[in-house]
Amino acid sequence: MRDTLNSKFVRTIPVKTDKFPFAPATMLAPMEGITNHPVRTAISALGGLGVVCTEFVRVSVAELKSREIRSVMRPTEGVPLSVQIMGNKPDLMADTARKFSEAGADVVDINLGCPTARAVKGNVGSAMLKDPDLLYEVLCAMRKNISGLQSAKIRAGFDNADHTLLIAEAVEAAGVDFIVVHPRRRSDFYEGVADWRIIGMIKERLKIPVVGNGDVWYPTDAERMYKECGCDAVMIGRGALRNPWIFNMLQDKSDWQPSAEEVFNYVDNFMNDHLEEFEGHEMGVVKRAKENWRYLCQLFEDGNTVGREILRQQTYSDFRSALMNYLESKKPEEFDFHGHLKPKNSGSGLAAEE
C-alpha cells in the first residue's frame, strides 16, 4: 500500500462541488437482511428521507441476470434509490453498474466496508480498503458506465485508520459524486464508538459531498454530526430501525413524537401491506415484523426484556395482540425518542479521543 497522498490517482472529469444532490440531505443506510423493499417503503412513508439504499448485491463470478436486476430495482415512491454493489473485478462491476444505471438506479454505490469473514476472504467490501489502487481501478471502470450518480461507502480503514485520506482521495479521483463515511475500521466491526473526527477530516480534504454515518441514535445526534463534521448529508442505519420517525423529526423541529397508537399502526400497517407479497402466508409477514420489533423495542427501558417477549408469539393474531397490549401500557414519557431515558452511545469525536 502506498502511504503518500496526491500521487497517481488521476481525475479525468471535473469534481462536482455542489452540495448533496438530494433533499432532504438524509439517507437510510443499507443493511443486509433488514432494509429490504418492505422496510424501505415503510420508513420512507414516514417522511423526511432523501435517499434509500438497497442491501448489497454481491457481484463476484457471473453477470447478474435481468431477473436479478429487476428484483433489486424495486423503487420506493417519491424517494430516490441507491443500489449498492460489492465486488472487485473491474469489468464485472462496470457491467453491473451499467445494468443498474440503465434500469433507473438514481445512484450506484460500491460497498467498501463490509467486515464479514466471507467478504474479506473474497477480497471485497472492507478488504478493498487495503488496496486503494484496486478500488480506484474498479471505481473508474464503473464510472464510465453510470449515467446517474455514483457513490462509495467506506470505513475508516482495515486494521488501522492510517490511510483513510488516501482511500478517500482515490475515491474522489475516480470521479465519484459523493462518498459515505462510516468511521470505524474493519477490525472494529460494530464495536466501540464511531469516530466522527474522521468524517470531518475527510470533509476538509475532499471537494465532493461527504455523507456522515455511524451511531446517530437521536435527532440531536444528526444535528451534531452536521455541525461537528461539516458533512453534507447524514446516513442513519440502526437508529432509523429503532426510531423510523427520526428523518421526519429532523425536518420537523418541534418536540413532536409518535403516540403508542402510531407505533402500533406502523407495525400493523407493515404487516397488512405485505401480506399480499407473502401470498397470505401470515408467518412470513410476522417474521419480517419481528425483525423490525427487535429494533423498535429498544425505544423502551424494558424493551429488551418485557418488550422482547412479544417475539415469542407464534401466530399473526397473537403477535398483533401482544404488541397492542404492550404499547397500550406505555405512557408517552416512556418512549425514548429524544434520549432522555437511557442515551445510547452516540458517535463522537470526544469519545474517540479517550
Ligand X SMILES: Cc1cc2nc3c(=O)[nH]c(=O)nc-3n(C[C@H](O)[C@H](O)[C@H](O)COP(=O)(O)O)c2cc1C
Catalytic residue (one of 114, 140, 229, 231):
114
Whole-number minimum distance, CB 184 to ligand X, in Å?
7
The cell for 319 is 403477535
Whole-number minimum distance, CB 314 to ligand X, in Å?
24
Q: Which of 183, 179, 180 is nearest to 214 (CA)?
A: 183
Q: Which residue is nearest to ligand X (CB)?
A: 237
Give the residues across from 155 on adjacent strands.
182
The cell for 144 is 464510465
Count of beta carbons in the 10 Å neighbourhood of residue 322:
17
Question: Cβ closer to ligand X: 32 or 282?
Answer: 32
Strands 26-28 and 233-236, by their bridges, are parallel
Task: Give contact residues for ligand X (rule: CB under 6 A).
Answer: 29-32, 34, 55-56, 84, 111, 113, 153, 182, 190, 213-216, 236-239
Whole-number minimum distance, CB 229 to ligand X, in Å?
14
* Known active-site residue 114: yes
Whole-number minimum distance, CB 53 to ligand X, in Å?
7
CA separation for the pair 105, 91 (Å, rounded):
19
Burial 53-73 (b: 16+ CB within 10 A, else e): bbbbbbbeeeebeeeebeebb
Q: Give backbone dihedrals phi and psi of 197, rounded to 5 degrees, phi first.
A: -60, -30
Question: Cβ closer to ligand X: 153 or 186?
Answer: 153
Question: Cβ closer to ligand X: 291 or 301?
Answer: 291
Question: Cβ closer to ligand X: 145 or 213?
Answer: 213
Residues labelled as active-site residues: 114
